[in-house]
Amino acid sequence: MIVVLSKNISPRAKELIHSYLKDRGFSVREQSLGDDTIIGASGKGAVDTRELSILPGVERVAAASKPYELASRETRAEDTVVTVGGASTPAVKIGGSRITVIAGPCAVESREQIMETAAMIRESGAVILRGGAYKPRTSPYSFQGLGMEGLEYMKAAGEACGMPIVTEVVSPELALQMKDLTDMFQIGARNMQNFELLKRVGSLGKPVLLKRGPSSTIEEWLLSAEYLLVSGAKDVVLCERGIRSFESYTRNTLDILAIPVVKGLSHLPVIVDPSHAAGIRAMVSSAGLAAIAAGADGLSVEVHPRPDEALSDGHQSLYGVQFEKLMRDIEALAPVVGKELVRTPGKYGK
């Protein structure tokens, strides 16, 4: 790490920077280079570069090493391929040269609804079933999900259709309860920096789908992935779902270029949730197709047999026929980006 000093730095400020770095485990060497005086800090120290950069007398900080390690492509050059399911359902892979599509309703509403949806999306080519049993909602007065009952319906639907399932976990206590019922945990956007949850879920060793917080930088997102990996998770999939900006025509601003950025920085697969990004059905397919064109490893799409009756997010859920059309378009697009759409065997496979 390099610290460039201000031209008019006081001796006292310089001394403090030296001790700040030494206290955090770095060995330190100061020297002139061209017009500048710089401090090189090396070793296994840990520091918040943001904090360092606003110390008096620090002009700029340049960290050559990333603050995350296990998630970094420098640590592992080849793409990680994550496997979901494989016990009571077929194993599905995410990453590499595959396009993997996860689909299902926003929330599990009843045994019938999830069963019907599962069959419908399976028919169109989705290979993992999504659905919320516990729903974190901005308002305490909104539908909060069916809980463990909903999760059991999901598991049954997944097994009936031969698809592993993914569902959101909202507290450390629930993670343990849900462990044997789900094939993959989802960490929702609002919990991306709920570090206690990350540590607990990571320690369970199951695949995790980590959504990006709506105002998280890519670096913070990868640091949250690092929490999961350090705690024991091996199979982490990143999911971009839109960030918060000043524009309010769409629910969020889909950060489409986060896909190539993350693929450069990390070996983890990255998929996109076009439903939350767009927030309105009419734009979900455009968002999904753009994501694949930009290099995403897959999608997580909200689909509902009767969106107008959905208890949550119906306005952004696709109808079955729209989803089928999207899957056909993805299949046509796949070779343009050098990928192949994942199909699994079984009674619904093709």
Residues 214-273 that bind a second copy (CB under 8 A): 214-215, 217-220, 223, 226-227, 230-231, 243-251, 253-261, 264
Q: How far is the CB of 239 from a second copy (least distance, A)?
A: 16
160 is a contact residue toward a second copy (CB under 8 A): no
Angstrom distance (rounded) from CA 350 to CA 348: 7
Q: Applying CB under 8 A, does 11 fall inside the site for a second copy?
A: no
Is residue 122 exposed (0-12), middle (13-18) or buried (19+ Cβ within 10 Å)? buried
CB of 70 to a second copy, least distance (A): 9
Q: Cα 162 from chain centroid?
A: 24
Residue 241 CA to residue 44 CA, distance in Å, equals 34
Report the C-alpha gap between 342 and 16 in whole angstroms: 56
Whole-angstrom Cα distance, residue 322 to residue 313?
A: 16
Q: How far is the CB of 77 from a second copy (least distance, A)?
A: 9
Query: Nearer to a second copy by C-beta: 149 or 309?
Result: 309
- In the list 99, 268, 283, 303, the residue contacting a second copy (rule: CB under 8 A) is 283
Enumerate residues 6+ apart whose C-beta is below 8 A from 50.
Answer: none
List the strands of the sheet with 27-33, edge to edge.
27-33, 36-42, 2-5, 58-62
Q: Which position among 151, 201, 290, 318 is part of the footprint of a second copy (CB under 8 A)? A: 290
Counting contacts by CB under 8 A, is residue 286 touching a second copy?
yes
User: Among 66-74, 96-104, 111-119, 121-129, which window interacts with a second copy (CB under 8 A)?
Assistant: 66-74
The interface with a second copy within residues 298-327 (CB under 8 A) comprises 308-309, 313-316
Q: What is the smallest separation between the CB atom of 80 and a second copy, expressed in angstroms?
A: 18
Q: Which stretch binds a second copy (CB under 8 A): 67-75, 78-86, 109-117, 155-163?
A: 67-75
Residue 337 engages a second copy in binding (rule: CB under 8 A):
yes
How far is it, in rounded angstroms, from Cα 338 to Cα 333? 9
Is 148 an interacting residue with respect to a second copy (CB under 8 A)? no
What SS3 class is residue 238?
Answer: strand
The rounded distance, in Å, linking the Cα atoms of 56 and 14 is 9
Using CB under 8 A as the binding rule, whether residue 8 contacts a second copy is answered as yes
- Whole-angstrom Cα distance, residue 84 to residue 78? 19
In angstroms, rounded to a whole number, what is the distance separating the alpha carbons of residues 173 and 165?
20
Residues numbered 26 to 65 that lie near a second copy (CB under 8 A) are 27, 29, 31, 33-36, 38, 40-43, 46, 48, 50-52, 54-56, 59-65
Based on the shown chain and the rule CB under 8 A, indicate whether residue 129 belongs to the binding site for a second copy: no
Residue in 88, 142, 149, 343 binding a second copy, rule: CB under 8 A: 142
338: helix, coil or strand? coil
Q: Rounded to an integer, what distance in angstroms lies between the CA atom of residue 155 and that of residue 186? A: 15
**Contact flag: residue 287 with a second copy (CB under 8 A):** yes
Is the Cβ of residue 46 or residue 347 nearer to a second copy in the bound state? 46
Q: 95: helix, coil or strand?
A: coil
* Cβ proximity to a second copy, 74 vs 149, nearer residue: 74
Nearest CB to a second copy, comparing residues 151 and 258: 258
Identity of the residue, 223 or 239, whose beta carbon is nearer to a second copy in the bound complex:
223
Residue 45: partners with Cβ closer than 8 Å, 6 or more residues away: 21, 24, 25, 26
Which of 172, 179, 234, 324 binds a second copy (CB under 8 A)? It is 172
The distance of closest approach from Cβ of residue 349 to a second copy in the complex, given in angstroms and rounded to an integer, is 24
Please state the closest distance from residue 181 (CB atom) to a second copy, in A: 18
Instruction: Write the CB contacts of 107 (distance below 8 Å, at least 6 apart in sequence).
Output: 131, 132, 133, 135, 143, 145, 146, 150, 310, 311, 312, 313
